Amino acid sequence: MNWLHAILLGIIEGITEFLPVSSTGHLNIVEKLLGYDIDSRGMTAFTAVIQVGAIIAAILYFWKDIVRIAVAWVRGLVSAEARTDPDCTLGWGVIVGSIPVAVVGLAFKDLIEGPLRSMWVIAIALFVWSFAMWAADRIQANQVVAKEMHHVSVLDALIIGVFQALAPLFPGVSRSGATISAGLMLGFDRVTATRLSFFMGIPALVAAGGLEAVGSAGDISDAVGWGPTIIATAVSFVVAYASIAWLLRFVSKNSFTSFIVYRIIVALVLLGLLAGGVVSA
């Protein structure tokens, strides 16, 4: 991979990782258009590893929150009174909510890295899940009193985690799109649903990227090269940090309609390219 492609893919990853538009879907589409074999082990690993840059950006952006939640969770292990702290509950929620995606990722690894990486799957998932997001956004808009972060229960987090597990199975659904939709359906306000999406995504994506970096180091060296991979990861970190700040400001004042319309347009364009034989599945 040349460095220009690495920078471009890093930018795409940084912009799309936390927006509800599917980073994996966008990366696969652009990788395909650039002529790469998205089914190869090297490209699969590259796509997973550069997500780590975006996740590090999220960790740094939410560092104070992460430390506060972690401290509350540890205190809850030894103190009954501390277990009443909403941050302690949120800590358990993130742990429990991370289980479904780990189970799905391990149980269906071959399927996820094989047949489900089809461009048809991405296009259909982008299109279909747009309506799930629309329904979730309408549900939230009709809430008289929306729930906030201190209302999060372990069950809420588990449900969001189950939705999160859809993302690796169907690239195009979008991990953030799935988790934000779940949060909205559970009655949380848009900012809280978005922040929960970040908290739920950090352990899952760190684990996925770390495992690929360790387990597929040889594949990356042979197919892509570690130089371009490191460059793409660094670029994704910088772009993602700015993207996080922008997204939180945006959802505090706007619905998710613009993202939904964008997803539908991308899906229809991709379906047209596939049907016309311009892009292969």
Report the alpha-carbon distance of residue 71 to residue 40 in Å, rounded: 41
156 by DSSP, 3-state: which? Answer: helix
Task: Flag whether 280 is in a domain.
Answer: no
- The count of domains in the chain is 1
Task: Decide: 116 and 179 in contact? Cβ < 8 Å.
Answer: no
Task: Flag whether 177 is in a domain.
Answer: yes
Tell me which residue of 263, 268, 272, 271 sits closest to 130, measured CA to CA.
263
Task: Flag whether 139 is in a domain.
Answer: yes
The pLDDT, as a whole number, for residue 143 is: 79
Task: Flag whether 53 is in a domain.
Answer: yes
Task: Flag whether 176 is in a domain.
Answer: yes
Positions of the chain with pLDDT lower than 70, given as ranges: 113-114, 213-216, 281
The pLDDT, as a whole number, for residue 127 is: 94
The pLDDT, as a whole number, for residue 279 is: 76
The pLDDT, as a whole number, for residue 247 is: 95
Task: Decide: 23 and 123 in contact? Cβ < 8 Å.
Answer: no
The domain in which residue 178 lies consists of 3-275
The pLDDT, as a whole number, for residue 70 is: 95
The pLDDT, as a whole number, for residue 144 is: 73
Task: Flag whether 281 is in a domain.
Answer: no
Cβ neighbours around 202 below 10 Å, total: 17
The pLDDT, as a whole number, for residue 136 is: 93
The pLDDT, as a whole number, for residue 48 is: 82
At 42, the amino acid letter reads G
